[in-house]
Structure 1
């Protein structure tokens, strides 16, 4: 396969695996936590350990704090106090990743660098998560043996054709799935994704359904979403008609202010 074609296969592979990791965090395909972690733990994205992703994502599901820039580890917002301390280049960077193009192109570098800086600071303060990082290093070593010795693929090729664009695809899914709102029920959106994206994201684009029933396996979410809409009031919910609508709205426009309006 020519190298210029590799991202067309590599990016969906890494994003699909990340979707599978998300399922494992929520108790699938088995009810045995260590087995799910073993099956899903290979770090194809390279930059985030599975154990840390698991812990932060479960905290993200505490709806009381959803989108809060201090309490929600998956929030893209900043508090007013944080924003006041940011330099002009950092403010411009935050605004850039609030456009869809910026989120796809520089978003992987943005989230990866921010995460690694936070982890480095935690180690310097004596709060490093040694076990999670130890398992992560072991997983990266297995991946590198496969890439370098079996496939003969340079590491930079894997980063540029697999890990980086795969993380970008994952950020496409999360771009519009949460918004700041006073009430927890208004903070999560639904994207009625085109079929390839729905399969790639294992129906996690139906994000209200997922947050309502986080333990429900991915293949039951579409049916549950139909029942949920028939049986409950959906007034005020944000619904997007696929990722093409999101691209039309925010490809080069800032989706919203990076400063959380209620924090």
Structure 2
């Protein structure tokens, strides 16, 4: 994985984007309005944490195994929503003030162990080099060798563990240097200190198993949701074709859009990373003519794309081209 210098401003500035949109759209008042920050939509943040904590309390006190596991599932699903807030922080779009994005990003990552700094650097490189050989997230693309198959299906099944290893050790050791490396390892030290303090207290109270269960099992479900989302966003999209054609939007449903903060409108996010989460549906409507012009992929279901990907396995440039051919049976372009 090669090292790349990235500057956040370059990543989401309208003047530094692949597949530039028509000039009238770039200069439109509607587009400029979508970049404006509003504080009211972010009231969802305490709401999500409240739901997450409430489900944890129910699971903790439940004597019914089915209810307990439903709560673990719900906590994992809500955790995915919280992580999409953190994701906006990588582009400094969750809050207008830059330092607030840094603080919340670090805070949101504590239950996941991995560092915000590591994830942010990887993610900005992904945006700059989406669906190219320099994209650190393009591990679904390979030569369909044994190793490619093992990595692909391991990520689909136990992605939460591979993600932790990638962002805690592999990526930081290869890429992060200087101040960023110092911040990363400081975050990891903070996570270890918090985990040690929590489990030391739990042991003194004789509730270690309960604390472990309410932390660990929701993360397993979160890992599944994250793998499904991650694979669906780019799998089968054309190689080295820019942010529009190289990304998939999944309409899904309004309930899922609410809880995952419109991350499913992913084409718009890659085209305009500086647009906050609450304006992505409006951005999608503005972009739709251009999306249709370049033949970008719009689908209706995360699960359908995920199952399709599991059936097809790892990608190559050739298989990607064939899957996006209108004559292919696995052609998934689905614009109504």
Indicate the TM-score class for this superposition, using the shorter chain for normalisation: 0.7 to 0.9
Give the superposed CA RMSD. Answer: 3.3
Task: Report if aligned partners of 1:19, 1:201 keep a CA contact under 8 Å in 2.
Answer: yes
**Cα 1:145/1:176, change in 2 over 3 Å:** same
> Which residue is equivalent to 2:43?
none
1:169 to 197, 222, 225: 225
Q: Highest relative contact order (Cα 8 Å, sep 6+), 1 or 2?
A: 1
CA distance in 2, matches of 1:183, 1:92: 24
Aligned to 2:4: none
Identify the structure with the greater helix proportion: 2
> Any stretches of 5+ residues in structure 2 without a counterpart?
1-58, 63-67, 321-336
Give the secondary structure class of the aligned counterpart of 1:129.
Answer: helix
Q: TM-score, normalised to structure 1's length?
A: 0.77
How far apart are residue 116 of structure 1 and its match? 4.4
1:60 aligns with 2:60: no
Aligned partners of 1:53, 1:163: CA distance in 2, in Å?
Answer: 17
The separation in 1 between residues aligned to 2:74 and 2:256, in whole angstroms, is 14
Match of 2:93 among 21, 28, 32: 28
Aligned residues: 245
Q: Which secondary structure does the structure 1 equivalent of 2:119 belong to?
A: helix
**Structure 1 residues 200, 133: closer, same or farther in 2, change over 3 A?**
farther
Distance change in 2, residues 1:79/1:249 (3 Å): closer
2:151 is matched with which residue: 94, 97, 106?
94
Question: What runs of 5+ residues in structure 1 fail to find an aligned partner?
Answer: none
Q: Find the structure with the greater CA-based Rg.
A: 2
- Aligned partners of 2:250 and 2:298 also within 8 Å: yes
Deviation at 1:157, TM superposition (A): 1.8
Q: State the distance in 2 between where 1:144 and 1:193 align.
A: 39
Corresponding residue for residue 114 of structure 2: 48
Q: State the alpha-carbon separation in 2 of the partners of residues 134 and 96 from structure 1.
A: 32
Partner of 1:254: 312
Distance (whole Å) between structure 2 residues aligned to residue 92 and residue 50 of structure 1:
29
CA displacement 1:147-171 (0-9 Å, x = unmatched):
7647955464245322232132122
Question: Using a 3 Å threshold, how does the CA distance of structure 1 residues 5 and 210 change in structure 2: closer, same or farther?
Answer: same
Q: Assess if the C-alpha contact under 8 Å between 2:75 and 2:218 holds in 1.
A: yes
In 2, distance between residues paired with 1:128 and 1:27?
A: 16
CA distance in 1, matches of 2:298, 2:161: 29
